Structures are given as C-alpha cells and as structure tokens.
C-alpha cells in the first residue's frame, strides 16, 4: 500500500457562474477561454509521518488517449509541487491552475509522485502503484441521489402540511 491515496484526476477550469444567490466558481471540463487547462485531485496522507512536499509528474492526454503537450512551454509531462505540511490521515485538495495550454486535453494521469517527509526521508511511487479512490473526499453519485430524494420528500411533506393547515 502506498503512503498516499489519490482521488480521480480531473482536468478543466474554474469558471465564475451565477448561482441564484450570487456568483460562485464552478469546475467546468475543458480549457478556459485562453486555452488553459487546470488539474485537480484530492490526496490523503495514509502514512504515520508528516509530509513536507509532494512532487507529482502528470501527463495530459486527448480524447483518443494520446499524450499531448502544452503549447506553452512545449512539454508533455509537468512536475507540480505541493508544499505541506500534510498531516497523517488528512485530506488535501490539489488544484494546479493553468497547468497546460492545449484545448485538446481531456484528462491526465499521474506518472509518479515523490513524497518528502518532515524527517528528511523520501519515497517515490510510480503511477501504477499509487492507490486511487475515485470519489476520495467527494460525494459519490449514490450519495447525491439520496440527498436529492430526501430534499424532494421534505418538500412534499411541507406541501402536505400546508394543505392540511389551510384545509385544502
């Protein structure tokens, strides 16, 4: 088992959108208007040590799963650094804004991660040895459905109460 667990890697960008009560940033797939593609994923420290730095090598790919590069600075893989501390059993959301500029990018894989602990020790894990949990730190579709059903049931109960109160 690796010393970290990684959630699904998502590519896209944050976009300011009207939410009904004001503007908020929503994650949207694809490149932004300038062609910039950001990347985000959650990471959980499963070791018993405090992580000082995480270095991730990420490879972006297109719709036909070919690795593609960024038009700026013309490279395929990129190394991204998270500066801790990341304490044991803690979860952190990684977001690297405008990681690449290429509007054909639809995803990315983690090629490797290097973990540097506060005690100075280091560990490198190749991508296929990293434990991945699809919904790490996020609501699964099943949970979202349960919440939606609960909201509908509560709304119906409220309508029934109003109908009973007003003798409809």
- Contact (CB, 8 A) for 7 and 135: yes
**Residue ranges per structural domain of the chain:** 4-137, 138-168
- Give the DSSP per-residue string, 67-109: B---TTT--S-EEEEEEEEE-TT-EEEEEEEEEEE-TT--EEE
pTM: 0.73
CATH number attached to the domain at 4-137: 2.60.40
The reported pLDDT for the residue numbered 74 is 62
H or E stretch at 150: helix 141-165
The reported pLDDT for the residue numbered 81 is 93
Using the structure block, give the residue that is written with the tokens 């208007």. Answer: 33
pLDDT in tens, 93-136: 999 999 999 999 999 999 999 999 999 999 999 988 888 877 66
Instruction: Sort strands 107-117 and 51-61 into parallel, antiparallel or unpaired.
Output: antiparallel
H or E stretch at 145: helix 141-165
Tokens of 128: 């296929």
What number of residues does the chain have? 168
Residues of the chain with pLDDT under 50: none
The reported pLDDT for the residue numbered 130 is 85
What's the rounded Cα separation, in Å, for the pair 8 and 111?
A: 14
Collect all residues with Cβ–Cβ distance below 8 Å to 42 and sequence separation of at least 6.
Answer: 6, 7, 91, 92, 93, 94, 136, 137, 138
The reported pLDDT for the residue numbered 131 is 83
H or E stretch at 5: strand 4-7
């Amino acid at each position: 088992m690796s010393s970290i667990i990684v959630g699904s890697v998502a590519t896209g960008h944050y976009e300011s959108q009207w939410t009904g009560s004001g503007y908020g940033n929503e994650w949207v797939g694809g490149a932004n208007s300038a062609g910039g593609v950001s990347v985000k994923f959650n990471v959980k420290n499963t070791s018993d040590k405090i992580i000082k730095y995480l270095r991730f090598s990420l490879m972006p790919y297109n719709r036909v799963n070919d690795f593609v590069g960024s038009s700026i600075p013309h490279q395929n893989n990129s190394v991204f650094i998270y500066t801790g501390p990341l304490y044991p059993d803690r979860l952190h959301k990684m977001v690297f804004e405008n990681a690449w500029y290429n509007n054909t990018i639809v995803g990315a894989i983690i090629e490797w991660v290097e973990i540097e602990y506060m005690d100075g020790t280091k560990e490198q894990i190749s991508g296929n040895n990293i434990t991945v949990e699809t919904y790490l730190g996020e609501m699964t579709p099943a949970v979202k459905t349960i919440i939606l059903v609960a909201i509908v049931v509560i709304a119906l109960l409220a309508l029934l109460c109003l109908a009973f109160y007003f003798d409809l």
